[in-house]
Amino acid sequence: MKMKKLGNSDLDLSPIGFGAWAIGGGDWQFAWGPQDDNDSIAAIHKALELGINWIDTAAVYGLGHSEEVVARALKTAPQRPYVFTKCGLVWDEKREVTNSLKKIRQEAEDSLRRLEVEVIDLYQMHWPKPDEDIEEAWSVMAELKKEGKVRWIGVSNFNVSQMERAMKIAPITSNQPPYSMLNRAVEPEILPFCEKNNIGTINYAPMHSGMLTGAMTKERVANFPADDFRRNAKNYQEPLLSRNLAVADFLKTIGERHGVSAGVVAIAWTLHQPAVTAAIVGGRSAKQVEGVIPGATFRLSEGEYGEINDYLSANLA
C-alpha cells in the first residue's frame, strides 16, 4: 500500500481512510439510519488490520456518538491510527444542528474528551459558515495548533476565495471536499488551487454515499430507514436515481475485468486525480470494509480512466 503525504504535514496517509459518519447512528438530522456500535468497532478494527492508518470523524456525527465509538475502538485497536475530526456544526437540547464558528475552542476540548486522546492529528473546520466568521475561527484553529491540542489544521467544503482568506492567517494543511464522478464541482478551480498551494485533498463520498457501490437498488432506496438522510437527497430520487444506478452498472463491467466491485472502481477514479491525497471510505461492518479495501491498491489504467470519462460525458451531460 503506497502512502502519500498530506499537504504540508508530516502525515503519510494510506490511500483510503475510514470514514466514521454512518457509525454515529440514527436519530439526528444527517443520520444514515440505526447502527450497531459493536459492528462499528469491528469495522474499524478490520480497517486497521488491513493497513488503513487514519480515521475521519466529526463532532456532529451522531451528535458526539461517532467520536465516542472511535474512542472505544482505539482502546483495543491493533495499532494507533491518525485521528481526524471536525468542528463548526453544533447542536442543541432538541438535537437540532446549526452552523457556528464561535465555539471552536470548546468544541476541541469536547472532541478531545470524547475521543480520549491528548492531541487531534488533524482538526478541520467542517463548513465555512457563517462566511463572515472564517477569519476569527481560523485564528482559533491556529492557536489550538500552537498550543499542541491539534497537530495540523484543515478545512472542509471551502472554495478558493475562502481558502485564500484563511491562508493569510495560517497555513492550511488540507481541504476535505465531496468528490465523485457524480459530483465533479471541485475539478475546475478547487483541486488545482490545492495542488498548487501544497494543500492536501482528502475527498469524501467517493462512492457518492453508497450510490456507486454496485450494491444499491431502487428497492433498497425505497426501504431506507426514516432517519436516513439519503431519502431526501436529489441523487437518490428520480430521474437521477435511474441514471446513477446505470453508472454503477457500467462501473461493474470495469470492475469485473479485475475482480473488484463497482465501488472500488469509483474510489480508484477519484484517486486517479493527482490533486487527491486520499479518499474517505465509510464502513458499517467488517464485511463492508473487506469489500472496499481493494480501493487502497487497485488503480485504473489510463485507458480505463478515459473509458469511464467518455461514458460520463455521454450520459451525465
Catalytic site positions: 61
* C-alpha to C-alpha distance for 61 and 42, rounded to whole angstroms: 18
Contact 203, 281 (CB under 8 A): no
How far CA 306 is from CA of 269, 272, 301, in Å, comes to 10, 11, 9
**Around Cβ 148, how many Cβ atoms within 10 Å?**
9
Q: How large is the C-alpha radius of gyration of the chain? A: 19
How many angstroms separate the CA atoms of 66 and 53, rounded? 18
Count Cα neighbours of 139 within 13 Å in the Cβ-side half-sphere. 5
**Residue-level length of the chain:** 317
Which residue from 312, 240, 314 is spatially nearest to 272, judged by alpha carbons?
312
